Structure 1
């Protein structure tokens, strides 16, 4: 599913001016042109994390240029359901990020930012449900769960 720039702005909660600034300074947003749907769900998630970094932590958007590339790649490479129970661990000095189990990051020698994804995913999911027609929401209704077949001995006893 692809989203337009307007849908990205509305879902993530940024203004037209903010989006224009992001297009100038953040590489993942600079090559997206026109009214054609060009953003994935992972792009929306990454944009929501970037908004959190700028608004909550006061990090200037221009300082997130390199990090934005890694963040968009990370959010597009992991399914929605797996992101919801993870934290994005951001090293603002090294301009890197990675996923960790919620609460699983240990102490480090340099400052890091830990962004729990669950609240962001709930907020983003709510906005997507409001924005999209019901027919487009099927993929968000129930996250996939892992199914493991019971061992043969256990199945016979029941």
Structure 2
């Protein structure tokens, strides 16, 4: 796998896109605290489109997931290589955190704890897990076969 290197301007652009994602979540968390009720899911399509446009020259695509419920405790972005989307165990035709392997950027906001994780992840659905295990690099990607993620 080749290394992606960004210049300062590209790094700043990517960081700004990630900040936009975090700001969307933070705004909804504040809404929940102030109003005392569950907020509606934020509109994130423009953020996802911006990330995909930025990532395309390097051959990557992403999918933003807010998890389950009205505002998940672990909103995340799954990053996948475009050239292997739909190649069986790798991922579906479109990036998704429910199939195959992916890089997973998660923002934990619960209990005033703001933490960001970057992991290599795999599907945790049993039939999809079996597909992932067919990959020859599976043991290197997920050293503990029972886990879904490995922090980077």
Shorter-chain TM range is: under 0.3
Work out which structure has the larger RCO, using CA pairs closer than 8 Å and 6 or more positions apart in sequence: 1
Whichever of the two has the greater Rg, that structure is 1
Structure with higher strand content: 2
Alignment TM-score, normalising by the size of structure 1:
0.27
Alignment TM-score, normalising by the size of structure 2:
0.27
